Amino acid sequence: MITLKINDVIIPFHAADDLAQSHTQEKGGRFRRMMSGRGTLQTHWSKYDIQLSGSGTVPAALSSIDFNGPVLLHWVAPLSLSTQTTTATIPMPFRLDFAPWCLAFNGLEKNETPVNMVGQTANITPVPNAQYYVVNYLPIMTVILPVGAEQNNAVYQAEHGWSLNLKEV
């Protein structure tokens, strides 16, 4: 089971029975038209907004994390790269406790295949007749918690809910 980790704090399984992570990409740029009328997007930067939530029978111990500055978020939702070759470069740091994994696809058939990591490069073990490969990884990202983006729902029964809205630095 994949655990949520922020800095060195592991959120207990019993505090995240229904752990959910979603993300969107925020981009700085503009849509422009060329003299020919063709549209183009000029992008200056791209960063992630990450939403985490969970609940469980114990509190999440979020107060043990110092959110006054940047923190390292160890993702629980994978990002993926598709390639038709047997190598792929992962563009950001990734979790080593849950190594990248790969699926080989041939039509509707999929097979897991080993990945050997050398730095950020995934060397994929070839699968006969594979049309393409999908390398999955769990990023590690420096994020901040904007003011007012933490919510703790102390329920006086057996449930404790929480949510965090984080922004990539």
Q: Residues 7-66: pLDDT tens digits?
A: 999 998 888 888 999 999 998 888 999 999 999 988 889 999 999 998 888 888 888 889
pLDDT in tens, 104-155: 999 999 999 999 999 999 999 999 999 999 999 999 999 998 865 556 666 5
> Of 164, 165, 137, 159, which is closest to residue 57 (Cα–Cα)?
159
pTM: 0.84
Decide: 38 and 9 in contact? Cβ < 8 Å: no
Spatial CA neighbour of 15 closest among 153, 162, 165, 166: 162
Domain boundaries, the chain: 1-28+43-77+139-169, 78-137
As given in the structure block, the two tokens for residue 77 are 């939702």
Query: 116: which 2 tokens?
Result: 């050997």
pLDDT of 13 reads 86
Q: How far is CA 98 from the centre of its chain?
A: 12
